[in-house]
Structure 1
Amino acid sequence: MEALGGGTVPTARIRPVAVPAPAPGLIERYLALPDIACGAADALDALGLDGVCRPGLRAARPGSRVCGPAVTLRYEPAADPADAVLGDRDLYRLAPRGAVAVIATGGHTRHAVVGDISAACAALAGVSGIVVDGAVRDLDALSGPDVLPVWSLGAVPANARGRLDAAELNGPVHLADVLVRPGDLVVADDNGTVVVPSEAVEDVLARCETAHAHETRLLADLPVRRRRRPEGAPQWA
């Protein structure tokens, strides 16, 4: 882990929270579902829970998908630029393998908190994805095929050093208006981002799998009807 560099966040800002490992096979079963964010959203709705993040979080590489327990970092505007620290490397060091790094800035998009080096450090630490309620930069690199998936509110070239300060690691944060606690399951794809409370992950998965099986049977039973083309109409009509 030395390759991630030295820690910068004071220990008083790091909560001693252990993120429990998901049950064996649970993450793989979530990722086997098509449109996992939609399925998780429907299951949460049936349970009377709301974990759907407001629109705006987009993957740097379209087609990306991720599912994993959250580790969290909360930024605040820097009171003293000289003393402000960034906490992404510390967050990755704390993360269990397969975790999703959730970085909350309160919607700050004027300065980027993740770039290509940060994403590379996350991948080295075994993080499966990053979701930022704020901005990223180095978008060309982040959209490459071999970079771990990153979601954000947008891209901006200015960096956050001296502008934002790591206020807390391993605490509750709000990601696009949704509460995220360490260990909650984060699911994201091109449809959006959904947060499944840790105590509901198995119930939500069971409902997703049941719904997927039902939809598969329904689609198989739908009749396929060819539309009759008027005489002389082009073949693509």
Structure 2
Amino acid sequence: MSSIITPDICDAHPDVQVLDPIFVSFGGREAFCGPIRTVKCFEDNSLVKQAVGEPGEGAVLVVDAGGSHRCAMLGDMLAEQAVDNGWAGVVMYGCVRDVDVLAETDLGVHALGAHPRKSEKRGEGLRDIPVTFAGVTVEPGQWLYADNNGIVVAKERLPLDT
């Protein structure tokens, strides 16, 4: 994979969208990229579990969890499942848990914060729809690039120098 350095991406591709700097990196993979798949849910991670249980094929799961700080929407077990199924990363507009394990997991994980409480499982939410948070509307099929500098979204895969 090419080097992912979001400042360089912004310099070379000024039309990329940059998510507001509200995310913390929790995953063991500091830089990641891939085509976007989305989930929209609120305090119910049923569809997150469903998504990471499917082949990721190098994609990034972008979850609009409503910005909730009342429970975690991803933990160590779902992160391990995501790795096993070939996901590159998860961007969670919400919280995660088991952060010490996430830091050792070969998965990019950016979230708003950590919370020890698990979410509900009611089977609610939507998949593969445009979601809007952090000043950007993210659509399935766009490309997401993330590192410790931030998160950028492009309409399509960008040619990056290796």
Question: What TM-score bracket applies, with the shorter chain setting the length?
Answer: 0.7 to 0.9
How far apart in 2 are the matches of 1:140 and 1:61?
9
Instruction: Say which structure is richer in strand.
Output: 2
1:187 to 2:125 alignment: no
Structure-1 residue corresponding to 2:95: 135
Contact 1:129 1:150 in 2 (8 A): yes
Which protein is bigger by CA-based radius of gyration?
Answer: 1
Please give the residue correspondences for 1:223-234 in structure 2 after superposition, counting only pairs within 5 Å.
none
Q: State the Cα distance separating 1:89 from its structure 2 match.
A: 2.3
Please give the residue correspondences for 1:140-151 in structure 2 after superposition, counting only pairs within 5 Å.
140-144=100-104, 146-151=105-110
Please give the residue correspondences for 1:89-104 in structure 2 after superposition, counting only pairs within 5 Å.
89-104=49-64
Q: How many residue pairs get matched?
A: 162
Alpha-carbon RMSD across the aligned residues, in angstroms, is 2.4
How far apart in 1 are the matches of 2:38 and 2:55?
9
Structure-2 residue corresponding to 1:41: 10
Contact 2:91 2:110 in 1 (8 A): yes
User: Which structure 1 segments of 5+ residues have no match?
Assistant: 1-27, 78-83, 213-237
4+ long deviations beyond 6 Å: none
- Cα deviations by residue, 1:21-79 (Å, 9 ceiling, x for unpaired): xxxxxxx2xx325xx2112223442xxx35100012121147700011111100136xx
Please give the residue correspondences for 1:194-209 in structure 2 after superposition, counting only pairs within 5 Å.
194-198=152-156, 201-202=157-158, 205=159, 209=161
How far apart in 2 are the matches of 1:170 and 1:189?
24
Please give the residue correspondences for 1:63-74 in structure 2 after superposition, counting only pairs within 5 Å.
64-74=30-40
Report the TM-score when normalising by structure 1: 0.61
**Identity of counterpart residues, as a percentage?**
30
Contact 2:42 2:68 in 1 (8 A): no
Structure-2 residue corresponding to 1:88: 48
Contact 1:70 1:101 in 2 (8 A): yes
Cα distance change, pair 50–137 in 1 and its aligned pair in 2 (3 A): same
Segment of structure 1 superposing worse, 111-120 or 167-176:
167-176
How far apart in 2 are the matches of 1:176 and 1:74?
14
Instruction: Say which structure is richer in helix.
Output: 1
Report the TM-score when normalising by structure 2: 0.87
Equivalent residue of 1:70, what SS?
strand
User: Which structure 2 segments of 5+ residues have no match?
Assistant: none
Contact 2:26 2:108 in 1 (8 A): yes
Cα distance change, pair 143–110 in 1 and its aligned pair in 2 (3 A): same
Cα distance change, pair 117–37 in 1 and its aligned pair in 2 (3 A): same
Q: State the Cα distance separating 1:137 from its structure 2 match.
A: 0.5
Cα distance change, pair 61–94 in 1 and its aligned pair in 2 (3 A): closer
Equivalent residue of 1:76, what SS?
coil
1:32 to 2:31 alignment: no
Equivalent residue of 2:50, what SS?
helix
Structure-1 residue corresponding to 2:136: 178
How far apart in 2 are the matches of 1:108 and 1:53?
17
